[in-house]
């Protein structure tokens, strides 16, 4: 398959139709968890001199001074999100809309026919898909593992959780600074060693022919546990691969071509995600790199979108 990184493989389009009124975020007085990792402040590196996917806004390389902050070693898990729901009664946007986007190969036969997204048919609109029932109604027992990243959470849902937990979403600069693990201008959180389809599996991404065949040689068809694979130099897990991670920032790019496409597609106000997911592959979506980025509407929910928390130090 030819590389086609300009296609919207990282997420489906925004929801169509009138948006339900979001429930107000639950207030919380959460303290910083004991396992939150202190990231030293200083001059952070963001972006790259030469972009691999220029239209995504990966370049230029710039430097930004950051204050120290604390970050969760993993993305928020299903167990952690369940505690938030139990404490607040919060209803996610997927639950309010009544549906969410599920990758085609995750949809059980019992669900029946689903609506495919034109041009990216591997995304299917599945009624009843939520963070609890990840692949559709009555699939929670098979798919919603307590130690896996929570998915089907929108940017608005992540903001509500952060507010309850007394933290916030990271900025792009904070996320990249933490992901580099003290290694500087490296491509991946572990360095420069490239993953492949056969022998080297430092993160949870696709192996095989996307989107048709995943050989699962890394042992995972969809998400892996949030705390899996080797952590980076700061002790952070799965910063690339597994699930995309929402950030606090709006998705802005310098490419005039992409700006026009964004405007025509109604992408104003999209939120920035980092890290790639288990659906990334170098032939199609080479976005499991530190500088890679993607933009998604703040109400979007899918089976490969999660988030992690930061707290001011």
Domain parsing of the chain, residue ranges: 37-312
Q: Which of 76, 34, 39, 38 is nearest to 226 (CA)?
A: 76
Is the preceding omega at residue 211 within 30 degrees of 0, hence cis? yes
**32-58, pLDDT tens digit by residue?**
999 999 999 999 999 999 999 988 999
In this prediction, residue 155 carries a pLDDT of: 97
Which long-range contacts does 23-26 make (Cβ < 8 Å, 24+ apart)? 23/90, 23/91, 23/96, 23/160, 25/90, 25/159, 25/160, 25/163, 25/164, 26/84, 26/87, 26/88, 26/89, 26/90, 26/160, 26/163, 26/164
Nearby residues of 110 by Cβ (< 8 Å), 6 or more positions away: none
The CATH classification of domain 37-312, taken from the options 2.60.120.200, 3.40.309.10, 1.25.40.10, 3.90.1580.10 = 3.90.1580.10
Between CA 131 and CA 136 the distance in angstroms is 10
Q: Reduced to 3 states, what is the DSSP secondary structure of residue 82?
A: helix
Q: Are 256 and 181 in contact (CB under 8 A)?
A: no
Between CA 306 and CA 158 the distance in angstroms is 8
In this prediction, residue 2 carries a pLDDT of: 35
Q: Are 70 and 38 in contact (CB under 8 A)?
A: yes
β-strand pairing of 310-312 with 69-71: antiparallel
Per-10-residue mean pLDDT for the chain, 313 residues long?
50 70 60 94 95 92 97 98 97 97 95 91 96 94 95 98 97 98 97 97 98 96 98 98 98 68 67 98 96 95 98 94
Tokens for 10?
């990282």
């Amino acid at each position: 398959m030819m590389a086609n990184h300009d296609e919207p493989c990282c997420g489906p389009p925004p929801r169509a139709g009138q948006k339900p009124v979001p429930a107000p975020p639950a207030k919380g007085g959460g303290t910083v968890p004991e396992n939150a990792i202190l990231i030293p402040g200083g001059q952070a590196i963001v972006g790259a001199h030469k972009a691999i996917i220029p239209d995504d806004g990966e370049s230029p390389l710039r430097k930004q001074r950051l204050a120290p902050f604390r970050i969760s070693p993993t993305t928020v898990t299903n167990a952690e999100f369940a505690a938030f729901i139990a404490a607040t009664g919060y209803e996610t946007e997927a639950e309010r809309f009544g549906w969410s986007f599920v990758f085609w190969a995750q949809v059980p036969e019992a669900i029946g026919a689903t609506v495919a997204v034109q041009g990216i048919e591997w995304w299917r609109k599945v009624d009843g898909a939520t963070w609890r029932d990840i692949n559709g109604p009555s699939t929670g027992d098979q798919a919603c593992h307590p130690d896996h990243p929570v998915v089907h959470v929108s940017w608005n849902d992540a903001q509500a959780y952060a507010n309850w937990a007394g933290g916030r979403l990271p900025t792009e600069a904070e996320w990249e600074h933490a992901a580099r693990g003290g290694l500087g201008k490296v491509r991946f959180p572990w360095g420069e060693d490239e993953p492949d389809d056969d022998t080297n599996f430092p993160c949870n991404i696709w192996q095989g022919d996307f989107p048709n065949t995943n050989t699962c040689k890394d042992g995972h068809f969809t998400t892996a546990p949030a705390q899996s694979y080797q952590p980076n130099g700061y002790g952070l897990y799965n910063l690339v691969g597994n699930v995309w991670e929402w950030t606090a920032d709006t998705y802005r790019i310098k490419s005039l071509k992409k700006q026009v496409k964004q405007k025509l597609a109604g992408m104003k106000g999209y939120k920035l995600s980092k890290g790639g997911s288990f659906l990334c592959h170098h032939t199609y979506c080479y976005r499991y790199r530190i500088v890679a980025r993607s933009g998604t509407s703040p109400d979007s929910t899918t089976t490969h979108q999660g988030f992690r928390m930061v707290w001011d130090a």
